[in-house]
Amino acid sequence: MESDKIVLSGMVFYGYHGVLPEEKTLGQRYVVDLEVEADLHTAGISDTLSDAINYAEAYQTVKEIMEGPPKNLLESVAENVAQRVLSRFAITAVRVRVTKPSPPIPGAVMSGATIEVYRKR
């Protein structure tokens, strides 16, 4: 059975994650897509924000991690986002995609490097 979803895509943050020293000092841009699964029926009927997932609060939750203390791995960043979102909102599952548009690797990666995690309550 399909579940209801809220998707915040293309959120852009500047952070200092990575294993290389210059990543931690110069920082770089990250793009995050957040998809949460939740029962949106009540909010759809009531038309009341208190019955819904507040997009601004979800954005702020992601921002706190992306612009917060540096992590070495994108896997850790994505896991932290997923766990924080699961703990703060009445949702059943979350999918987090964190993209590093310009990864420091030899060669061209046109769309960047992306980590995706999916976690259920």
The encoded tokens of residue 59 equal 């954005």
* Residue type (1 letter), 103: P
pLDDT digits (tens, 9 = 90+) for 16-42: 999 999 999 999 999 999 999 999 999
Question: Catalytic residue among 24, 63, 71, 100, which?
Answer: 100
DSSP-assigned letter for residue 67? T
Contacts from 104-112 at CB under 8 Å and sequence distance 24+? 104/18, 104/20, 104/22, 104/23, 112/31
pLDDT digits (tens, 9 = 90+) for 65-98: 999 999 999 999 999 999 999 999 999 999 999 9
Quick check: is 100 catalytic? Answer: yes
Domains and CATH numbers, the chain: 5-120 (3.30.1130.10)
